[in-house]
Structures are given as C-alpha cells and as structure tokens.
A and B are shown apart, each in its own frame.
Chain A
C-alpha cells in the first residue's frame, strides 16, 4: 500500500511538473515577453500586368504577447505567439482593389489571417542599430497553413520600443488561392505577393 502511494505521488509530481517546466528553463535559460502594441501594421504588395498594388492593415487592433524562450542546450530560440489579422481591415487605396483582395482571400469563409511565430535563429541584441535575424513563422491564409522562414530586422528605440520588421514572399497558389484574372485573362494578377509587417512591441518586465 505504501509502495502504491509512493508511485502515485511520483506520477502526480511528474505530470504536474511537465506543465510547469517549459516556463522555467534550466540554468542560463531565458524567457522574454514582448507585448505587441496597437500601432503595428502589415502590408501585402503585388502586381498585375497593368498595375502594382499595395494593401495595408494600418493599425493592428489587438494586444498580443510574443514569448521568447531559450533553454541552455538549445541552439534555436523558441518564439511563441500568434497574431490574428482581420481580412476586412485590408485597405488597397482603391475600393475595387480592396474588394478584390478580400474576395480573393476568401474573406467570407476565412475572415482572419494568422501569423504564428515559431522560432528565431538567435536572441537579438536590442540596440538602435538594425540587427538582421531570421526565424520561422507559420502563415495561415484561407484555412491553409504554410511554415516559412522570414527575414527580420530588429531595433530598439530610445523609448525602449522594440521594432520587428519582417519580410517574406508568398504565392497565392501556396494557399490554394487563384490569382484573379479579368477580361478573358488579358488582365492577370501575378502569383507572387510580398508580405511586410512591422510589429512595435514593449518588453515586459
């Protein structure tokens, strides 16, 4: 009976500690939390055979937190946090183009675009000088997720605001979306889109 209790206590300890351990890295481990501020933005740049377009979500309207975590033995830095952007917030500075982008991204069925942060290649040194880093994110558009490596530049200004600029090229076809074509295919949108985002964040103490 005493033996059984000991086993149960051990099982209980292990099961509860397994939920706690990831938030408490070992010696020399590091956790940082960055709160994304409302003035963050995202833009999508593309082109057709007759014009170029730039569609912007000018102000991110939620407050989210990104968490950096580095354990002593890991080479990569884990980055967790998701940003959900409303497709209806896109503004292409032309009402027709705006409506077209929202339709192409299948806004009615999938009203949100998600960017899930997964990792960084190193812990950034936050200075006023832009530091190039890379990291993996998962982009979800129209219900399809794609894991991509993003080039970032990170800086910290005098007010201790952290600015994370990310850039990546995606294709409509990566997300099973068809670039629109008009007038019997005489006007065609190119498959490739450039996605830029700027996250303005504050480090949590």
Chain B
C-alpha cells in the first residue's frame, strides 16, 4: 500500500514538473503553436485553474491503480515497462477520447495530435516511475 501511495506521489510530482514545465517552455519558445487556445472553447476566466493544475495527480492516481492491477503482465526492463504502460494507456484511453474530441469540437488535427502525444509522454513517464518504485 505504501509503495502504491509513494509511486503515485512521485509520479504526480514528476509530472507536475515535466508537464507544466514543458508547457511553460513550449509557450515561451514556440508561441505560435498555442494561438489556437485563444478561443472561447477553452476556459478563460481562471475558474478552473485548480482543476488544470491537479491533472497530474489525477492521471498519476489512475495509472498507479492500473499499474498495481496489471504490473505482472507488463514485463521487461524499466524503460520497456514504462513504454508499454504509455502505449497501453494511449490505445485504451487516449485514442478513443481524442477521436470523439476531434469529432465534436472545433479544433485542428495539430491540436488533438499534440494532446495525444502529451498524454502518451505523461503515461510513459509515470510508467518509468512505477517500474522503478513499485516493480
């Protein structure tokens, strides 16, 4: 139980730094890629900022639960296990969600692809943490 909690918290903190740090750097150095977010489709009054910044904890929690259930089926080195968790998450959760998102919202292929890759990277990083802390 302690290992699950510990791996969740380590993964969450790692994702906070890498995800939001990456976003911050992306906005700073590639601002043109983010112009599409100036759209009322995206929340603009700051009322959901807390939810935005707790996403790393939510995804880490969900993935740590999944890892605990199925880690026996994910074999290989730490890197391979991390990659496997990332691809499993992408196929099971991200792909269908991005599919329905693109089909229903007025967003570009680039934006939905960036969300897919962002989620894939998050799951791989979380998988690497789980494989190391809770093998």
Q: In the complex, how many residues of chain B place their beta carbon closer than 8 angstroms to a beta carbon of chain A?
A: 22
A residues lining the B interface (CB < 8 Å): 48-51, 53, 94, 96-97, 99-100, 103-104, 178, 180-187, 189
User: Which residues of chain A have C-beta atoms less than 8 A from B23's C-beta?
Assistant: 183, 186
Do A100 and B34 contact each other (CB < 8 Å), given the known contacts A178-B45, A185-B49?
no
Do A185 and B40 contact each other (CB < 8 Å), given the known contacts A49-B31, A50-B27?
no
A181 x B39 contact (CB < 8 A): no
User: Which residues of chain A have C-beta atoms less than 8 A from B38's C-beta?
Assistant: 48, 50-51, 53, 94, 96-97, 100, 180, 182, 187, 189
Do A94 and B40 contact each other (CB < 8 Å), given the known contacts A49-B27, A181-B46?
no
- In the assembled complex, the Cα of A187 lies from the Cα of B34 at a distance in Å of 8
- In the assembled complex, the Cα of A183 lies from the Cα of B114 at a distance in Å of 14
- In the assembled complex, the Cα of A51 lies from the Cα of B35 at a distance in Å of 7
User: Which residues of chain B have C-beta atoms less than 8 A from A186's C-beta?
Assistant: 23-24, 27
Q: When A and B form their complex, what is the total count of cross-chain residue pairs whose Cβ atoms lie within 8 Å? A: 65
- In the assembled complex, the Cα of A182 lies from the Cα of B45 at a distance in Å of 8
Q: Does B110 contact A (CB under 8 A)?
A: no
Besides the contacts A96-B40, A97-B39, A181-B45, what 6 more A-B pairs have beta carbons closer than 8 Å?
A103-B44, A182-B37, A182-B42, A183-B34, A184-B20, A187-B38
Do A94 and B44 contact each other (CB < 8 Å), given the known contacts A183-B52, A184-B49, A184-B53?
no
A94 x B35 contact (CB < 8 A): yes
Interface centre among B27, B40, B42 (most CB of A within 10 A): B40
Q: Does B41 contact A (CB under 8 A)?
A: yes
Which 7 pairs from chain A and chain B are nearest by CB? Answer: A96-B39, A50-B31, A180-B44, A184-B52, A182-B37, A103-B40, A184-B49
B35 x A182 contact (CB < 8 A): no
* 19 pairs, A vs B, C-beta closer than 8 Å: A50-B31, A50-B34, A51-B31, A53-B38, A96-B35, A100-B40, A100-B44, A103-B40, A178-B45, A181-B45, A183-B27, A183-B34, A183-B42, A183-B52, A184-B49, A184-B53, A185-B46, A186-B27, A187-B37
User: Which residues of chain A have C-beta atoms less than 8 A from B43's C-beta?
Assistant: 182
- Nearest A residue to B26, CB-CB: A186
Q: Does B32 contact A (CB under 8 A)?
A: yes
- In the assembled complex, the Cα of A178 lies from the Cα of B47 at a distance in Å of 12
User: Which residues of chain B have C-beta atoms less than 8 A from A183's C-beta?
Assistant: 23, 27, 34, 37, 42, 52
User: Which residues of chain B have C-beta atoms less than 8 A from A189's C-beta?
Assistant: 38
